[in-house]
Chains A and B, each alone.
Chain A
Amino acid sequence: MLEKILPNDIYSILKNRVNINSINEIRLRSDKPILLQIGSKRTFLSYGGTTSNINDAIIASKIMIEDIIFRASECSIYSVNEQIKKGFIVTPGGMRLGLGGDLIEENAVIKTMSNFSSVNIRLPHEIKNCSLSAFDYLIGEETIYNSLIISPPGAGKTTFLRDFIRQLSDHNYAFNVLVLDERGELDLGTKNCLGSFTDKISFAKKSVGFENGIRALSPHIIVTDELGQKEDIDAILYAVNCGVKILASVHSDSIESLSRKPLFDEIFKNKVFQRYVLLSMRNGPGTLEGIYNENFSRLRI
Chain B
Amino acid sequence: MKYILLIFLMFVCIFIGFIFSKKYSLRANFFKAIISLCQKFDIEINFSRERLKNIFLNLDDNIKKNLKGIDKNYISFIDKETPLDKVSLFSNINFLKEEEKDILFNFFRSLGRSDLESQSKEIKNYLVKFNEFSQKTSLDNKKYGSLSIKLGVIAGLVLIVLFI
The distance from the CB of B116 to the nearest CB of chain A, in whole angstroms, is: 4
Does A81 count as interface, using CB distance less than 8 angstroms? Answer: yes
Does B102 count as interface, using CB distance less than 8 angstroms? Answer: no
- Considering only CB atoms and an 8 Å cut-off, how many residues of chain B contact the other chain? 18
B80 in contact with A78 (CB, 8 Å): no
The residues of B that contact A77 with a CB separation of less than 8 Å are 112-115, 119
Known: A74-B51, A74-B52. A81 touches B112 (CB 8 A): no
Does A241 count as interface, using CB distance less than 8 angstroms? Answer: no
The residues of A that contact B113 with a CB separation of less than 8 Å are 70, 77
Dominant SS among interface residues on chain A? helix
Known: A74-B51, A76-B51, A78-B45. A112 touches B115 (CB 8 A): yes
The residues of B that contact A70 with a CB separation of less than 8 Å are 112-113
The residues of B that contact A74 with a CB separation of less than 8 Å are 51-53, 78
| Bound CA–CA A84/B45 (angstroms) | 16
The distance from the CB of A86 to the nearest CB of chain B, in whole angstroms, is: 13
The residues of B that contact A81 with a CB separation of less than 8 Å are 115-116
Interface size band for A: 10 to 19
Excluding A75-B77, A76-B53, A79-B45, 15 further A-B contacts by CB distance (< 8 Å) are A8-B80, A74-B51, A74-B53, A74-B78, A75-B53, A75-B111, A76-B51, A76-B52, A77-B113, A78-B115, A79-B49, A79-B50, A81-B115, A84-B115, A112-B114
* B interface residues (Cβ-Cβ under 8 A, vs A): 45, 49-53, 77-78, 80, 111-119
* A interface residues (Cβ-Cβ under 8 A, vs B): 4, 8, 70-71, 73-79, 81, 84, 111-112
Q: Which 4 A-B pairs have the closest CB atoms?
A: A112-B115, A78-B116, A79-B49, A81-B115
